[in-house]
Amino acid sequence: MIVLPRLRRMDVTASSEQTEISMAKIDLDSLSIEELAALRDHASDKLAEKVAARQSELEAELDKLAQYGKSVKKSQATPVAKPKKDDLPKSELSADVSRAA
């Protein structure tokens, strides 16, 4: 298990939210590859947790709002893109051309 070095805390004011956020100042140049990879993994995991929690909050809020009026559409899955002509096998391209003629 790789242990990340102790981090110095500093206060940063987020201008868009006007709240104080306690952030760690990290000297990335001093970290080894393993430490950087562990930091990246930890940050990715924490981000995924926060996104999932916020998504749950928003879905709960949408459910509450739905009782007051029109039902609210939840986003649907991303549509599948049609393949480009370049991606189609030549046999399908020749079939398309013969149908068009």
- Per-domain residue ranges of the chain: 8-66
pTM of the prediction?
Answer: 0.47
Strand partners, 11: 22
φ, ψ for residue 24 (rounded to 5)? -90, 140
Looking at residue 84, what is its pLDDT?
67
pLDDT category of residue 13 using cuts at 50, 70 and 90? very low
Looking at residue 22, what is its pLDDT?
77
Mark out the alpha helices in 23-101 (DSSP H runs).
33-66, 90-100
pLDDT category of residue 4 using cuts at 50, 70 and 90? low
Looking at residue 21, what is its pLDDT?
72
CA distances 67 to 1, 17, 46, 57, 59, Å, are 49, 30, 33, 16, 13
pLDDT tens digits, one per residue of 46-92: 999 999 999 999 999 999 999 888 655 666 666 666 666 666 666 65
Report the C-alpha gap between 57 and 60 in whole angstroms. Answer: 5
Looking at residue 95, what is its pLDDT?
57
Looking at residue 63, what is its pLDDT?
93
CA distances 99 to 82, 83, 89, 96, Å, are 19, 18, 16, 5
